[in-house]
Chains A and B, each alone.
Chain A
Amino acid sequence: MTTTSSSAPAPGRKVNRIGLELAAYRGGKSTLCAGCGHNAISERIVEACYEMGVESERVIKLSGIGCSSKSPAYFLGQAHGFNAVHGRMPSVATGATLANHRMLAMGVSGDGDTGAIGIGQFVHLMRRNVPMIYIVENNGCYGLTKGQLSPTADLGSTLKNGVVNDLPPVDLCALAMDLGASFVARSFSGDKKQMLSLLKAAIAHRGTAMLDILSPCVTFNDHEGSTKSYSYVKDHEEPLEEISFVPFFEEISIDYEPGTVRAVTLHDGSKLLLKKLAGDYDPGNKAMARRVIHESAARGEFPTGLIYVDPTRPDFLALLNLVDQPLAELPAGRTRPPREALDAINDALR
């Protein structure tokens, strides 16, 4: 096996800025149901990494347990992957980034994995602003155990067997924002363009980029009465802005009308261009973002797009004042104190 960046493409094939074809970013064949929204998300991840010229061997992909958590096997076959225990991917991802801050960490979770069993770890991951992309493939149900309700299922949504959900949903975007995530977005697995822009921006962001992606479950939750069905989401999706993303390595050339476009500069110099659809929506304003989320929810609508971003908040690793070389790669000479240090310790205890 060789590293992806060194393989030369065949002449005439379309390649990205590091000379790779799109196919180099694919993973194993999906074993999810045909038509599952999660597969569309995997495909967008492949495209986003391709377009951004990400080196797969600099990516670690992590997940918990569930249908969504299977998907890291289906993209970026040249990246190391870790399928952790149910709801606990955030801690594994945190430890991994502590060990090697140079890797791009990409986590995939589900609404049960994040909103139920893993809510504690989710909360603290957001709070720490651990530098990673955290994707929730949100279908409002437990697919792998055959369709039980999850904590993001909407009040009043029904299961195939007629059971009605009588508890209010957890809004992961509102929660992530309140807790300190520095990039919070929502999208829909059927919205290719928006999701791709958001994923590319998330790759450029430094800090926790939380993407809540509504991804209908074709087997258990794509029916009349489900608020996470394709038809419901299509009818009730309410984009906050039209999104365009310009990576740091590309010239900015935009066709938006001046005055309606807001550019957000991300960590690596990339620009996120937001053409406002909803009046004066400002993704840098947490209070406004909160209001929009709650008001839309009351109308049964899902605001999509970049809900909140703060490119200036220091990420967790920055707070730890770590040496530049990844901790995992430090040689013994830098991690074992010299003999004089131990002598001093012993002397102080005499």
Chain B
Amino acid sequence: MTSPSLASRGVTSGPAAFPVVNDFSIQVATVNGSGSQTANLVLLRSLFQSGVPVSGKNLFPSNIAGLPTWFTIRACRHGYVGRKKGTDILVAMNPETAHEDVLGLDPGAVVVYDEPLRLNALRDDLVFYAVPFDKLVAPVCPDAKLRKLVRNMIYDGVLAKLLGIELEEVDRALDRQLAKKPKALALNQAALRAGFDYAAANLEKRDPFVAERMQATSGRILVDGNAAAAIGAMMAGVTVVTWYPITPSSSLCETLATYMRRYRMDPETGKATFAVVQAEDELSALGMALGAGWMGARSMTATSGPGISLMAEFTGLGYYAEVPAVIFDVQRVGPSTGLPTRTAQGDILSTAFLSHGDTRHPMLLPSSPREIYEMAIAAFDLAERLQTPVFVMSDLDLGMNTWMSEPFPYPDAPMDRGKRLTPETLAALGEWGRYRDVDGDGIPYRTVAGDGLPPYFCRGSGHNDRAQYSERPGDYVANIDRIDRKFQHARTLVPPPVVERVEGARVGVIGYGTSHWAIVESRDQLREEAGLDTSYLRLRAFPFGPELEAFVAAHDRVYVVEQNRDGQMASLVTLDLDAALAPRVRRVLHYDGLPVDARTITDEILRQEAAAHQEARR
């Protein structure tokens, strides 16, 4: 499928007639383990420092070294940070994939390639720039063993020259990246310069893409979602972190441990105000988190789909025994091992109802680093307020990719530690029952070991409102119905959706999580290219609030955009709606492992709109 913006650029020779300013995507194709990450982040950061809105996405294999990997950088003066379909500038460093990468480009695209690959023979409708990487790296890096790592910096120099990125900004970004490694810094500086000088002396600008300084990134930070979640968890006062390594969530707990060692050591004693434990598996990770939550600690774990599957039984226990815990699910492509390094929103339905019997779990749906930071804090409050496991549904795109973000605001609200029995409450109540609803919100008062208040026996088997073992039908129904009341009450506690109603729009879009960024761009495309106005509701949590049904009722058709095959959120939405509204819910799905892009959404909504109008005419 051809992107219109690319098709209009048929520039093949001579200086570009129509410069395309700050609106391009760069794809760097390398072999993983070749040290390209530094060069890619430096390039990304140089644009960011120049005030140009950027996003960086790493498309990598499930492998440590030797398989193809692609890093894409999108610069966009309009501020769109979703993945752009199609590549404008390819940096072809990987001989294995170079041919396929070049053949997949749209006409007019740019190829910076390693000269011996002779890619210019493949097509005559692209702009080719040959760079003799090996010849350039040899003089700047006498140690042959290091050349593989340093040669990547040469393409940063070439691109800086070709795109017009100020060399000082690239230098500054490089300084920042390698400040602690002076030897590596010097080598990379030399390589950067070699690339820049080579391009200046040998490459004539024949493409339209230009980077120009803007003022659109001031005050912002660059961060990945896993780090943002980690910072949020630390600010939420988490004390017990138990986890098991799994891509793409591992860096969440690893980053958290690093921050905690820095900011959560007791200043007087130098001792830790936290415990981070790598468990033997995800069952154990959640078991530990629940054990700590039962004892009154703020506890969490982080995982991905396969771990969620393993946590099912314990989640049911947490739900029924009413024990708080926070679970971050950094979703990836399933089922089974699936595509472990690719992104999806594929755990929505299974997590909403995780475990056997009647269960339902609150889920928070962050779309940005800032939001996952705030939701991490909210999740700990909710878990203790609702006395239940709470899930924060991130994904690989948010968790592992680099995003621009507003800085993280300090949490001014005090922590909500939920309904803990106190001697005063006990005196007021007269008799306390661990699972007795005295306030009408379905949430009982709890005690924890060591607080000196009455103990209870916590169990996943049938119990009455005094936490005594019971198989009586009446006790079971009363208890499970009360837990449902608690869940209904949660509708008023979780973050409400963000609703943008457009006057006169008959079509609505519903999205959540990282799909948001492509939806923002798609709605502009729909309006500008097809004259279709759309309203938008971005879900931020399950259970849903009343805004959802009102939104669906106000539109003829509502497209739920998500990154899975089966329209999992659309199903969840439909279950929640009045049955008469269900036919209005349509599905726009993307599930190939790449982050969804705006063009895919736009095309699919227009296709379904055309079909709907045809249907109406018939």
Contact = CB atoms under 8 A, between A and B. Distances in A.
Interface of A: 1, 3, 57-58, 60, 62, 72-73, 78-85, 88, 90-100, 102-103, 120-121, 123-124, 320-324, 326-330, 332, 334-337, 339, 341-342, 345-346, 349-350
B449 A100 contact: yes
A95 B452 contact: no
B284 A323 contact: no
B275 interface: yes
Contacts of B469: 73
B200 interface: no
Nearest to B217: A350
A324 B270 CA distance: 11
B64 to A, nearest CB: 26
Given A79-B449, A94-B277, A342-B410, 20 more contacts: A1-B432, A1-B454, A60-B295, A91-B285, A91-B291, A96-B294, A99-B240, A100-B296, A123-B280, A124-B280, A124-B284, A320-B272, A320-B277, A323-B269, A323-B273, A328-B448, A329-B450, A335-B298, A349-B405, A350-B221
A330 B273 contact: yes
Instruction: Pick the 5 closest A-B CB pairs, nearest first.
Output: A95-B291, A91-B287, A335-B237, A95-B288, A99-B297
25 contacts: A60-B295, A80-B457, A80-B458, A81-B458, A83-B458, A84-B287, A88-B283, A95-B291, A96-B291, A96-B292, A98-B240, A102-B450, A103-B449, A120-B284, A121-B283, A124-B284, A321-B271, A321-B272, A322-B272, A323-B271, A328-B296, A345-B231, A349-B221, A350-B222, A350-B407
Contacts of A102: 450
B295 A328 contact: yes
Contacts of B292: 95-96, 98-99, 327-328
Nearest to A72: B457
Nearest to A97: B291
B271 A322 contact: yes
Contacts of A341: 263
Contacts, number: 210
B266 A93 contact: no
Contacts of A339: 410
A113 to B, nearest CB: 13
B307 to A, nearest CB: 14
A122 to B, nearest CB: 10
B458 A332 contact: no
A83 B408 contact: no
Interface residues of B, number: 71
Interface in B283-319: 283-299, 313-314, 317
B272 A79 contact: no
A81 B279 contact: no
Given A92-B291, A346-B407, A323 B458 contact: no
Contacts of B476: none
Given A83-B460, A349-B222, A120 B280 contact: yes
A342 B455 contact: no
Contact of A99 (B221, B236, B295): B295
A131 to B, nearest CB: 13
A336 B411 contact: yes
B123 interface: no
Given A95-B299, A336-B415, A82 B294 contact: yes
Contacts of A346: 221, 407-408
A148 to B, nearest CB: 20
A57 B234 CA distance: 30
B291 A82 contact: yes
Contact of A78 (B285, B313, B408, B455): B455
A120 B283 CA distance: 10
Interface string B434-477: 00000000000001111010111111110000000100000000
B551 interface: no
Nearest to B262: A341
A349 B234 CA distance: 16
A179 to B, nearest CB: 12
Contacts of A85: 287, 313-314, 317, 460
B275 A83 contact: no
A345 B411 CA distance: 14
Given A82-B294, A98-B292, A332 B415 contact: yes
Given A78-B455, A345-B259, A91 B279 contact: yes
B459 A323 contact: no
A180 B323 CA distance: 31
A324 B271 CA distance: 8
A152 to B, nearest CB: 21
A304 B280 CA distance: 31
Contact of A80 (B313, B408, B456): B456
Contacts of B264: 335, 337
Nearest to B286: A91
Contacts of A349: 221-223, 227, 405, 407
Contacts of A3: 452
B239 interface: yes
A93 to B, nearest CB: 6
A91 B283 contact: yes
Given A327-B273, A335-B273, A98 B448 contact: no
Given A85-B313, A99-B299, A332 B408 contact: no
A321 B270 CA distance: 9
B274 interface: yes
Contacts of A81: 455-459
Contacts of A332: 237, 414-415
B401 to A, nearest CB: 15
Contacts of A321: 271-272
A71 B87 CA distance: 65
A337 B284 contact: no
B277 A328 contact: no
A346 B223 CA distance: 10
Nearest to A6: B452
B281 interface: yes
B269 A88 contact: no
Nearest to A316: B277
B516 to A, nearest CB: 21
B457 A73 contact: yes
Contacts of A123: 280
A80 B234 CA distance: 28
A251 B43 CA distance: 74
A92 B294 contact: yes
B130 interface: no
Contact of B242 (A1, A95, A337): A95
Interface string B241-285: 010000000000000000100011010010111110101110111
A120 B290 contact: no
Contacts of A57: 449-450, 452, 455
A58 B411 contact: no
B235 interface: yes
